[in-house]
Structure 1
């Protein structure tokens, strides 16, 4: 068993034993080929939860400092995030974000799974914010199915502005995959917007959140 599998299985066991989550719909994850996981975002721990509980590996963006922090803690963080397939990105820098999307595109073209938060950053008030169109761009460019995910209660694991983690029950609902026609990179912004809105509609049904018509403008990049 590779280091990736050991860490993922260990994390899954820890989450299952301490939080006893309710997980619904794992059968909706495609058994082979590329796929895009699109969850709502309530907690710093959401990526770890999805990566650990999904039946197939899922690569998410992660802040670049998780890979560059010095000392023992830094080395441990780098080892963990590399092992679970996280992708370093400099938050808030447009050029870095564009490159990160291209990195996700490469992963999909190799038949693997990636995760992207359409809201961009976590919701600090519990609302489900308007989706940004990067997920629509990936779906139309690759034709990979989009698996919507609704996370419920993960915000209680690490409340906003708290550094400590408290084991709490949460629910992860995995919806049926959404399929969109593959158009390649030559598609319009309205097409990306339409696809993104359909994805957000599916997430809303799963999460049960009240929706906002605006984009999430968090003060801190997360």
Structure 2
């Protein structure tokens, strides 16, 4: 209930008024049935701007830190994400990754839309980074299509570290659904899930026009801060 009130009566209309999102390819998002929407991740604003333009509800796998922050701000953030039906994901190890996949498959089993950022974290410099294979494992296990999505302009309005976004127009671009039925039964094969993930990232790159970096964003961030 909170999700629909927030989207249609409170935050949604405000975001549309302020950022006037230009939406392209919305017809590629299925009107019913399970599917994964896989997008680039440039800004905290992505969590709000993409769902606003979709007619269907979408559930995101959100990093656990959004649910465990300290103080009043942390409690408010956690309450918001929980009320909006978003799922906390522990990114600290292999078992954590398996748990995230189980949660995502649970969403798809209910014929719902699942949103995921394959990079695993926000881009710190606006480039597109190597995708993690969880998105491929879920797509192959559930036998669902993947809709690539590109957020364009959200890095400029709210790059990492900026608290309040700049008020500028953004573009949200959806590509044709990717069908991976040719890989059916190969969700446990490393070569197959890597190939599927790379195909998804290539589709996102073509939509977004970003420079691609064949390394994990978290690794590059860590190297830069050390």
What TM-score, normalized by structure 1, do the two folds share? 0.90
Contact 2:119–2:131 (CA<8 Å) still a contact in 1? yes
| 1:157 Cα deviation after fit | 2.0
Give the aligned partner of residue 214 of structure 1.
215
The Cα RMSD (Å) is 2.0
Q: Is the CA contact 1:157–1:165 (under 8 Å) kept in the aligned structure 2?
A: yes
How far, CA to CA, are the matches of 1:186 and 1:92 in structure 2?
Answer: 22
Deviates more, 1:102-111 or 1:180-189: 180-189
Cα separation, partners in 2 of 1:23 and 1:160, compared to 1, 3 Å? same
**Aligned pairs, how many?**
219
Is the contact made by 2:136 and 2:187 (CA closer than 8 Å) also made in structure 1? no
Paired residue secondary structure (1:149): strand
Q: Answer 1 or 2: which has greater helix percent.
A: 2
Shift of 1:69: 4.5
Aligned mates of 1:71, 1:128 — CA distance in 2:
33
Alignment partner, residue 193 of structure 2: 192
Instruction: Normalising by structure 2, report the TM-score.
Output: 0.88
SS at match of 1:60: strand
Closer/same/farther in 2, CA of residues 41 and 186 from structure 1, 3 Å limit: closer
Contact 2:37 2:115 in 1 (8 A): yes
- Give the structure 2 partner of residue 201 of structure 1: 202
Aligned to 2:88: 88
Unaligned runs of 5+ in 2: none
Give secondary structure in 2 for the equivalent of 1:37.
strand
CA contact (8 A) 2:149 2:207 kept: yes
